[in-house]
Chain A
Amino acid sequence: EIVLTQSPGTLSLSPGERATLSCRASQSVSSSYLAWYQQKPGQAPRLLIYGASSRATGIPDRFSGSGSGTDFTLTISRLEPEDFAVYYCQQYQGFGPGTKVDIK
Protein backbone atom coordinates (compact mmCIF):
# COMPACT_ATOMS: atom_id res chain seq x y z
CA GLU A 1 0.00 0.00 0.00
CA ILE A 2 1.35 3.42 -0.99
CA VAL A 3 1.22 6.08 1.72
CA LEU A 4 1.16 9.77 0.84
CA THR A 5 2.60 12.42 3.16
CA GLN A 6 2.15 16.16 2.68
CA SER A 7 4.22 19.05 3.93
CA PRO A 8 4.00 21.45 5.50
CA GLY A 9 0.92 20.76 7.57
CA THR A 10 0.08 24.45 7.55
CA LEU A 11 1.39 27.22 5.31
CA SER A 12 0.80 30.80 6.43
CA LEU A 13 1.12 33.27 3.57
CA SER A 14 -0.21 36.62 2.41
CA PRO A 15 -2.29 37.27 -0.71
CA GLY A 16 -0.02 37.70 -3.73
CA GLU A 17 2.65 35.37 -2.36
CA ARG A 18 3.71 32.08 -3.92
CA ALA A 19 2.67 28.82 -2.27
CA THR A 20 4.60 25.59 -2.70
CA LEU A 21 3.01 22.42 -1.35
CA SER A 22 4.72 19.03 -1.28
CA CYS A 23 3.35 15.51 -1.59
CA ARG A 24 5.64 12.54 -1.09
CA ALA A 25 4.78 8.90 -1.78
CA SER A 26 6.22 5.97 0.18
CA GLN A 27 7.13 4.32 -3.12
CA SER A 28 7.26 5.40 -6.73
CA VAL A 29 3.89 6.14 -8.31
CA SER A 30 2.86 6.77 -11.87
CA SER A 31 2.40 10.47 -12.54
CA SER A 32 -0.77 9.53 -14.38
CA TYR A 33 -2.45 8.74 -11.09
CA LEU A 34 -1.43 11.79 -9.02
CA ALA A 35 -4.12 14.39 -8.45
CA TRP A 36 -4.56 17.49 -6.28
CA TYR A 37 -7.76 18.80 -4.70
CA GLN A 38 -8.81 22.00 -2.98
CA GLN A 39 -11.34 21.96 -0.15
CA LYS A 40 -12.95 24.95 1.50
CA PRO A 41 -14.90 24.74 4.78
CA GLY A 42 -18.30 23.15 4.37
CA GLN A 43 -17.67 22.23 0.74
CA ALA A 44 -16.81 19.08 -1.14
CA PRO A 45 -13.28 18.84 -2.52
CA ARG A 46 -12.63 20.19 -6.02
CA LEU A 47 -10.29 18.55 -8.50
CA LEU A 48 -7.48 20.96 -9.40
CA ILE A 49 -4.74 18.89 -11.05
CA TYR A 50 -4.69 15.42 -12.56
CA GLY A 51 -1.89 13.43 -14.08
CA ALA A 52 0.47 15.35 -11.77
CA SER A 53 0.53 18.44 -14.02
CA SER A 54 -2.71 18.87 -16.00
CA ARG A 55 -5.21 21.43 -14.82
CA ALA A 56 -8.82 20.31 -14.53
CA THR A 57 -11.54 22.17 -16.37
CA GLY A 58 -11.95 25.77 -15.23
CA ILE A 59 -8.90 25.84 -12.96
CA PRO A 60 -6.93 29.11 -13.20
CA ASP A 61 -3.40 28.95 -14.58
CA ARG A 62 -1.93 30.22 -11.30
CA PHE A 63 -2.27 26.59 -10.17
CA SER A 64 0.40 24.24 -11.47
CA GLY A 65 1.56 20.76 -10.63
CA SER A 66 4.86 19.03 -11.16
CA GLY A 67 6.89 16.05 -10.06
CA SER A 68 7.46 12.38 -10.69
CA GLY A 69 8.40 9.20 -8.90
CA THR A 70 7.88 9.86 -5.20
CA ASP A 71 7.95 13.68 -5.07
CA PHE A 72 5.20 15.94 -6.33
CA THR A 73 4.52 19.65 -5.93
CA LEU A 74 1.50 21.92 -6.21
CA THR A 75 2.39 25.56 -6.79
CA ILE A 76 0.05 28.53 -6.55
CA SER A 77 1.94 31.34 -8.23
CA ARG A 78 0.14 34.28 -6.64
CA LEU A 79 -2.34 33.60 -3.88
CA GLU A 80 -5.79 35.06 -4.34
CA PRO A 81 -8.13 35.47 -1.34
CA GLU A 82 -10.23 32.52 -2.52
CA ASP A 83 -7.19 30.20 -2.54
CA PHE A 84 -6.94 29.95 1.24
CA ALA A 85 -8.12 26.40 1.81
CA VAL A 86 -6.92 22.87 2.47
CA TYR A 87 -5.16 20.99 -0.34
CA TYR A 88 -4.98 17.22 -0.68
CA CYS A 89 -2.93 15.05 -2.98
CA GLN A 90 -4.35 11.72 -4.11
CA GLN A 91 -2.84 8.68 -5.70
CA TYR A 92 -5.32 6.37 -7.31
CA GLN A 93 -7.54 5.63 -4.34
CA GLY A 94 -5.67 7.09 -1.36
CA PHE A 95 -5.36 10.64 -0.08
CA GLY A 96 -2.61 12.53 1.69
CA PRO A 97 -3.35 14.19 5.05
CA GLY A 98 -3.64 17.67 3.55
CA THR A 99 -1.90 21.05 3.74
CA LYS A 100 -3.81 24.02 5.07
CA VAL A 101 -2.98 27.34 3.42
CA ASP A 102 -4.06 30.13 5.72
CA ILE A 103 -3.75 33.88 5.76
CA LYS A 104 -0.68 35.26 7.49
Chain B
Amino acid sequence: QLQLQESGPGLVKPSETLSLTCTVSGGSISSSSYYWGWIRQPPGKGLEWIGSIYYSGSTYYNPSLKSRVTISVDTSKNQFSLKLSSVTAADTAVYYCASYQLLYSGFDYWGQGTLVTVSS
Protein backbone atom coordinates (compact mmCIF):
# COMPACT_ATOMS: atom_id res chain seq x y z
CA GLN B 1 0.00 0.00 0.00
CA LEU B 2 1.05 3.56 -0.55
CA GLN B 3 2.86 5.59 2.06
CA LEU B 4 3.23 9.35 1.84
CA GLN B 5 5.53 11.57 3.87
CA GLU B 6 5.63 15.35 3.96
CA SER B 7 8.88 17.20 4.54
CA GLY B 8 9.92 20.83 4.72
CA PRO B 9 10.42 23.76 7.09
CA GLY B 10 8.04 24.06 10.01
CA LEU B 11 8.48 27.83 10.25
CA VAL B 12 8.18 30.34 7.43
CA LYS B 13 8.39 34.13 7.64
CA PRO B 14 5.55 36.33 6.42
CA SER B 15 5.78 37.28 2.71
CA GLU B 16 8.12 34.37 2.01
CA THR B 17 7.41 31.16 0.11
CA LEU B 18 6.33 27.96 1.82
CA SER B 19 7.87 24.86 0.24
CA LEU B 20 6.94 21.27 1.02
CA THR B 21 7.75 17.94 -0.58
CA CYS B 22 5.79 14.70 -0.43
CA THR B 23 7.68 11.45 -0.92
CA VAL B 24 5.63 8.50 -2.13
CA SER B 25 6.64 4.92 -1.35
CA GLY B 26 4.97 1.58 -1.94
CA GLY B 27 3.93 2.57 -5.44
CA SER B 28 4.80 4.69 -8.43
CA ILE B 29 3.89 8.34 -8.69
CA SER B 30 3.61 7.68 -12.43
CA SER B 31 0.58 5.47 -11.88
CA SER B 32 -2.34 6.40 -14.13
CA SER B 33 -4.70 5.55 -11.26
CA TYR B 34 -3.89 8.55 -9.11
CA TYR B 35 -3.77 12.27 -8.80
CA TRP B 36 -1.55 13.62 -6.03
CA GLY B 37 -2.94 16.33 -3.81
CA TRP B 38 -2.18 18.84 -1.09
CA ILE B 39 -4.76 19.61 1.59
CA ARG B 40 -4.35 21.89 4.59
CA GLN B 41 -6.06 22.36 7.93
CA PRO B 42 -5.64 25.50 10.04
CA PRO B 43 -5.54 24.78 13.77
CA GLY B 44 -9.02 23.90 15.00
CA LYS B 45 -10.60 24.30 11.57
CA GLY B 46 -11.70 22.18 8.63
CA LEU B 47 -9.99 20.77 5.58
CA GLU B 48 -9.11 22.90 2.56
CA TRP B 49 -8.03 21.40 -0.74
CA ILE B 50 -5.04 23.32 -2.13
CA GLY B 51 -4.45 21.58 -5.43
CA SER B 52 -3.64 18.35 -7.25
CA ILE B 53 -1.28 17.12 -9.93
CA TYR B 54 -1.19 14.18 -12.33
CA TYR B 55 2.08 12.42 -13.10
CA SER B 56 2.02 14.03 -16.55
CA GLY B 57 2.23 17.44 -14.89
CA SER B 58 -1.39 18.52 -15.31
CA THR B 59 -2.38 20.65 -12.34
CA TYR B 60 -5.62 21.73 -10.69
CA TYR B 61 -5.70 24.46 -8.09
CA ASN B 62 -8.21 25.84 -5.59
CA PRO B 63 -9.38 29.09 -7.20
CA SER B 64 -8.96 30.93 -3.90
CA LEU B 65 -5.24 30.06 -3.78
CA LYS B 66 -4.42 29.72 -7.46
CA SER B 67 -2.45 32.94 -7.77
CA ARG B 68 -0.01 31.84 -5.06
CA VAL B 69 0.27 28.06 -5.56
CA THR B 70 2.57 25.92 -7.65
CA ILE B 71 2.51 22.13 -7.50
CA SER B 72 5.11 20.11 -9.36
CA VAL B 73 6.05 16.45 -9.73
CA ASP B 74 9.42 14.72 -9.94
CA THR B 75 8.82 11.21 -11.23
CA SER B 76 12.50 10.29 -10.95
CA LYS B 77 12.35 10.82 -7.19
CA ASN B 78 8.74 9.65 -6.73
CA GLN B 79 7.96 13.02 -5.18
CA PHE B 80 5.63 15.95 -5.66
CA SER B 81 5.99 19.40 -4.20
CA LEU B 82 4.03 22.44 -3.08
CA LYS B 83 5.08 26.06 -3.21
CA LEU B 84 2.85 28.73 -1.68
CA SER B 85 4.08 32.27 -2.11
CA SER B 86 3.53 35.49 -0.14
CA VAL B 87 2.42 33.66 2.99
CA THR B 88 0.68 35.29 5.92
CA ALA B 89 -0.37 34.08 9.34
CA ALA B 90 -3.58 32.82 7.73
CA ASP B 91 -1.51 30.17 5.96
CA THR B 92 -0.51 28.59 9.27
CA ALA B 93 -1.87 25.06 9.10
CA VAL B 94 -1.16 21.36 9.07
CA TYR B 95 -0.35 20.50 5.48
CA TYR B 96 -1.21 17.03 4.21
CA CYS B 97 -0.25 15.30 1.03
CA ALA B 98 -2.58 12.58 -0.21
CA SER B 99 -3.27 10.27 -3.12
CA TYR B 100 -6.52 10.79 -5.02
CA GLN B 101 -7.64 7.43 -6.33
CA LEU B 102 -9.45 7.95 -9.63
CA LEU B 103 -11.40 4.71 -9.26
CA TYR B 104 -12.81 5.83 -5.92
CA SER B 105 -12.77 9.58 -6.55
CA GLY B 106 -11.43 10.01 -3.04
CA PHE B 107 -8.21 10.62 -1.16
CA ASP B 108 -7.38 7.11 -0.02
CA TYR B 109 -3.87 7.48 1.42
CA TRP B 110 -2.64 10.42 3.44
CA GLY B 111 0.64 11.57 4.91
CA GLN B 112 0.77 12.20 8.63
CA GLY B 113 0.70 15.94 8.05
CA THR B 114 3.21 18.63 8.89
CA LEU B 115 2.53 21.82 10.81
CA VAL B 116 3.77 24.95 9.09
CA THR B 117 3.71 28.14 11.15
CA VAL B 118 3.99 31.53 9.50
CA SER B 119 5.64 33.92 11.91
CA SER B 120 8.51 36.35 12.05
Contacts and interface: CB of A to CB of B under 8 A. Distances in A.
Interface of A: 1, 32-35, 37, 39, 44-47, 50-51, 54, 56, 88, 90, 92-98
Nearest to A93: B49
A95 B105 contact: no
A47 B98 CA distance: 11
List the 4 closest A-B pairs by CB distance, nearest first.
A35-B106, A44-B110, A50-B104, A50-B106
Interface residues of B, number: 22
A99 to B, nearest CB: 10
Interface in B10-58: 37, 39, 46-49, 52
B63 to A, nearest CB: 6
A35 B104 contact: yes
B107 A90 contact: yes
Contacts of A92: 105
B47 A44 contact: no
Nearest to A88: B47
Contacts of A96: 46
A33 B105 contact: yes
B112 interface: yes
B104 A44 contact: no
B47 A1 contact: no
B13 to A, nearest CB: 26
A47 B110 CA distance: 9
Interface in B98-114: 98, 101, 104-108, 110-113
Contacts of B48: 95
23 contacts: A1-B63, A37-B107, A39-B47, A44-B98, A44-B110, A44-B111, A45-B107, A47-B107, A50-B104, A50-B106, A51-B104, A51-B105, A90-B49, A90-B106, A93-B49, A94-B49, A94-B62, A95-B39, A95-B46, A95-B48, A95-B49, A97-B46, A98-B46
